[in-house]
């Protein structure tokens, strides 16, 4: 799929703010691809498409989990967790995006996991630090990336903050997120 086509699909599907977020993630990911020697084309495409199903109803997402034979474990989680895996499978199956790195980057963009690929790491981080993000502590994560150039440390810190936030809200934590936290705690 061409970049323009991907942008058009996302622009037609998502509210303007989320479309613009998607473009900022793609731009940030291209920058990070420069810094960490990732693949700019993979990063751009995954960035544009990653939130495509962000606002679909849970029932629609559940149907697609079944249709694309994704892990049934996903059915215990909210759209916050499901929108990545469903988008990865949708673009692979319906738009012939046959690239494992794009698939993984979209699939795990919210949860992370152990042993992420380079472009997958870049999307995970870009989603968290794109320029309009203002969550507490985001500046520290930006420093880890742009000053220290330590992407594994940034992944650990993002995972830690995510887990702390989820625990504080009595939310269930998707197992890949715990794996991500433990794995990158040893890599940082």
Interface contacts to Fe ion, rule CB under 5 A: 51, 127
Residue nearer to Fe ion on the CB measure, 127 or 157? 127
Q: Which is nearer to Fe ion, 71 or 132 (CB)?
A: 132
Shortest spacing between CB 54 and Fe ion, in angstroms = 6
CB of 108 to Fe ion, least distance (A): 11
Our CB check for Fe ion shows the closer of 104 and 127 to be: 127
CB of 4 to Fe ion, least distance (A): 20
Q: What is the 3-state secondary structure (H, E, C) of the chain?
A: CCHHHHHHHHHHHCCHHHHHHHHHHHHHHHHHHHHHCCCHHHHHHHHHHCCCCCCCCHHHHHHHHHHCCCCHHHHHCCHHHHHHHHHHHHHHHHCCCCCHHHHHHHHCCCCCCCCCCHHHHHHHHHHHHCCCCCCCCHHHHHHHHHCCCCHHHHHHHHHHHHHHHHHHCCCCCCHHHHHHHHHHHHHC
């Amino acid at each position: 799929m061409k970049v323009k086509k991907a942008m058009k699909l996302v622009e037609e599907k998502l509210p303007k703010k989320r479309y613009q977020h998607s473009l900022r993630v793609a731009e940030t990911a291209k920058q990070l691809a420069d810094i960490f020697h990732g693949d700019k084309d993979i990063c751009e495409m995954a960035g544009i498409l990653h939130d495509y199903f962000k606002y679909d109803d849970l029932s629609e997402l559940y149907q697609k989990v079944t249709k694309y034979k994704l892990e049934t474990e996903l059915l215990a989680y909210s759209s916050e967790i499901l929108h990545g895996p469903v988008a990865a499978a949708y673009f692979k199956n319906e738009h012939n995006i046959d690239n494992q790195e794009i698939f993984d980057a979209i699939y795990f963009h919210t949860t992370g996991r152990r042993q992420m690929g380079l472009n997958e790491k870049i999307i995970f981080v870009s989603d968290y630090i794109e320029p309009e993000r203002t969550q507490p502590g985001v500046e520290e994560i930006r420093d880890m990336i742009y000053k220290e150039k330590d992407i594994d440390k940034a992944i650990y810190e993002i995972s830690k903050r995510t887990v702390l936030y989820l625990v504080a809200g009595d939310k269930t934590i998707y197992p890949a997120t715990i794996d991500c936290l433990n794995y990158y705690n040893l890599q940082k």
